[in-house]
A and B are shown apart, each in its own frame.
Chain A
Amino acid sequence: MALTHLNARGEAHMVDVGDKPESRREASASGVIRMHPATLALLADGGLPKGDVLATARIAGIQAAKRTHELIPLCHSLALSKVTIEFQLDSARSSVEVTATCRLNGRTGVEMEALTAVSVACLTLYDMCKAVDKSMEIGEIHLNSKTGGKSGDYQRLETGAPIVTGECAAGEVSLGTRCDAISPCIRVKCLAELRERLGVGELSVPLASLARADVAGLKEALKEQDPRFAKLDEGRVLCAVNQVMASDTTPITDEDEVAFFPPVTGG
């Protein structure tokens, strides 16, 4: 596949889009800024010295989308019909996810606009919060999807999304203590929709923290540790001990694997 921004001599050039038909084009991009949990709490409560962080970052992202052609050398200037910037605060990962969507009826794609909007919104979040946290990290900036145009639709494959549940990236679990070799421990997994609802995939619970060594006792200990686990009592939540279906009265011992999950929906 050839690079369209290079001419026959390999020099950079701007693609002539004058003869391309107009079509409705949309692109969505996202990125993440990780921060200290205390910074995220201040951001959520509006307690940061520079004022309303999210509103400022939203405006910055929209402005950036409109000025993409000034920043990226071979981008055309586009009359965008819509730019939206959304923020998702994730306390489990202690981060803010920024998603930008750009749209226009025109002759060229808007993915650079969406990516620029996300980047500048993340930078603005950094600027707004840096007084209290300089260790913030921006990452995972990528195109999610793009529709319209000759090159066809694109949908990012969620290779990062677990198809094997109960396994998450290092550092994703902020709860509980890791099992060490000495004290007896239970490995707890939350699967599928429950994992997303709780924001926890995997954690370890010391056996000693259980008042009763069974599933009901484990649930109590989890709720004591974090109020989010009250959701274990909401709706139908199933449980397996060492991969065999279990109930509240199933006994638990050291090194057991206990999984909580919603009703199954395969087939």
Chain B
Amino acid sequence: MIRVQEAPFDSGVEQQAMLAGRTDIGAVVSFTGLVRDFNERPEVRALTLEHYPGMTESSLSDIVEQAESRWSLDGVCVIHRIGRLAPGDPIVLVVVASAHRRAAFEACEFIMDYLKTRAPFWKKEHASDGDYWVAERESDHRDAHRWGTC
């Protein structure tokens, strides 16, 4: 399940929905990304997330499909928020369910690493001394490269 939305999400509700009626799932890993109050500059007051509608959804689907081809998964949920967010707000959710923990841990990390470098989202941060567009990070590319093809 993939959603791009302005509204907040509840990771507990999403996880329960994935597990409802299932007894074959042995592991579920949930990752929530939050807005920090510091980044390239201190005192980040808010950020605005832009995206490229259409391509966003298709690139997230593609990332999930790649994860499903690498690991045996019983459920994947990716929710990414857009619009204006404040420090502490949840920004992204990845929930992965599998029969065994290793697959769930790895697939969750894989999806986040690929999302960071491939999904068309852009952050503009509103700090106390002005607005700026967040620059890409070399470390994100290194993280994505760990999984081989890139």
Chain A positions 231-267 with a Cβ under 8 Å from a chain B Cβ = 236, 240, 243-244, 259, 261-267
Contact B50 A157 (CB under 8 A): no
Q: Residue A162 at the B interface, CB < 8 A? A: yes
Known contacts A163-B82, A193-B133: does B55 contact A265 (CB below 8 Å)?
no
Knowing A264-B118, A267-B115, A267-B116, say if A161 contacts B48 (CB, 8 Å): yes
Residues of B within 8 A of A243 (CB): 52, 54-55, 58
Residue of B nearest to A195 (CB): B50
Contacts of A267 in B (CB 8 A): 33, 80, 91-92, 112, 115-116, 119, 121
Interface residue B53 (Cβ < 8 Å from any Cβ of A): yes
Closest partner residue, chain A, to B115 (CB atom): A267
| A192 contacts partner chain B, Cβ-Cβ < 8 Å | yes
Chain B residues lying within 8 Å of A164, measured Cβ to Cβ, are 50-51, 53, 82
Known: A261-B122, A266-B80. A191 touches B50 (CB 8 A): yes
Cβ–Cβ contact B48 & A265, under 8 A: no
- List the B side residues contacting A265 at CB < 8 Å: 121-123, 133-136
Residue of A nearest to B120 (CB): A264
Q: Does B117 contact A (CB under 8 A)?
A: yes
Tell whether A16 is near chain B: CB-to-CB under 8 Å.
Answer: no
Contact flag A163-B51 (CB < 8 Å), given A264-B136, A267-B92: yes
Is B99 an interface position by the 8 A CB rule?
no
Note all chain B residues with C-beta closer than 8 A to A259.
52, 55
Instruction: Return the contact of A191 from the options B58, B115, B118, B120 (Cβ within 8 A).
Output: B120
Question: Residues of B contacting A225 with CB < 8 Å?
Answer: none
Assembly CA distance A155 to B49 (angstroms): 17
- Interface residue B65 (Cβ < 8 Å from any Cβ of A): no
Q: Closest residue to A263 on the B side, CB-wise? A: B136
Minimum C-beta distance from A239 to chain B (A): 11
**CB 8 Å contact bits of A153-184 with B (1 = contact, 0 = none):** 00101100111111000000000000000000
Q: How far is the CA of A158 from the CA of B117 in the complex (A)?
A: 27
Closest 5 A-B residue pairs measured CB to CB? A266-B121, A192-B122, A263-B136, A243-B55, A193-B133
What would be 27 A-B contacts, judged by CB atoms less than 8 Å apart? A158-B48, A162-B50, A163-B49, A163-B50, A163-B84, A164-B50, A164-B51, A164-B82, A191-B50, A191-B122, A240-B52, A243-B54, A243-B58, A262-B133, A262-B136, A263-B135, A264-B119, A264-B121, A265-B135, A265-B136, A266-B51, A266-B92, A266-B120, A266-B121, A266-B122, A266-B123, A267-B92
